[in-house]
């Protein structure tokens, strides 16, 4: 779709690695996904067109570059964003660093996941950490 949009705006573009991703979809992440190529002369204009068309968002890399740590207790509602109070959030699970370490030491793959939350409205990512109890 991005290729068609660029060409409708007068920028010649090419698709790379689409057949590899179709034949063996497991290689898609390893090769960096399907790529849209444009000439060097049209690069800046192509980025601007794709950004205006909604195909890429240049601000996401800036806002999601930092993972926030939010302290939580048992009363904390984990179904709303702690920054903008929106309920339009999602939960991502990623492998913890211990999983590959256990695999290489024991030869047994034991998936250990860490959860990261993301808000689709304010585009922030965070993890909850248990709040420490204060002694009176």
- pLDDT tens per residue, range 57-94: 766 444 445 778 888 887 888 888 888 988 988 888 77
- Is residue 83 one of the residues assigned to a domain? yes
Residue 29 banded pLDDT, cuts 50, 70, 90: confident
Please tell me whether residues 74 and 34 are part of one structural domain. Answer: no
pTM exceeds 0.85, yes or no: no
User: Structurally, how many domains does the chain consist of?
Assistant: 2
Domain that holds residue 84: 66-130
Please tell me whether residues 53 and 106 are part of one structural domain. Answer: no
Measured between alpha carbons, how far is 130 from 71 in angstroms, rounded to an integer? Answer: 6
∠ CA 7-11-15, nearest 5°, is: 65
Please tell me whether residues 34 and 15 are part of one structural domain. Answer: yes
- Is residue 126 one of the residues assigned to a domain? yes
With beta carbons less than 8 A apart as the criterion, state whether 117 and 128 touch.
yes
Measured between alpha carbons, how far is 85 from 73 in angstroms, rounded to an integer? Answer: 17
- Residue found under tokens 């090419």: 14
Please tell me whether residues 72 and 109 are part of one structural domain. Answer: yes
- Is residue 76 one of the residues assigned to a domain? yes
Tell me the CA distances in angstroms from 79 to 84, 125, 130, one per residue in order. 12, 13, 16
**Residue after which a domain boundary falls, among 40, 58, 76:** 58
């Amino acid at each position: 779709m991005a290729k068609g949009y660029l060409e409708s705006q007068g920028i010649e573009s090419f698709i790379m690695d689409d057949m590899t991703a179709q034949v063996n979809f497991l290689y898609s992440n390893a090769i960096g996904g399907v790529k849209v190529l444009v000439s060097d002369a049209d690069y800046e204009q192509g980025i601007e067109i794709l950004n205006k068309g909604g195909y890429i968002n240049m601000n996401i890399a800036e806002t999601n570059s930092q993972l926030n740590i939010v302290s939580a207790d048992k009363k904390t509602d984990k179904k709303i964003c702690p920054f903008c109070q929106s309920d339009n959030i999602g939960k991502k699970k990623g492998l913890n660093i211990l999983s590959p370490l256990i695999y290489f030491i024991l030869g047994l793959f034991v998936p250990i996941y860490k959860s990261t939350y993301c808000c689709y409205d304010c585009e922030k990512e965070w993890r909850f950490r248990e709040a420490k109890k204060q002694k009176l």
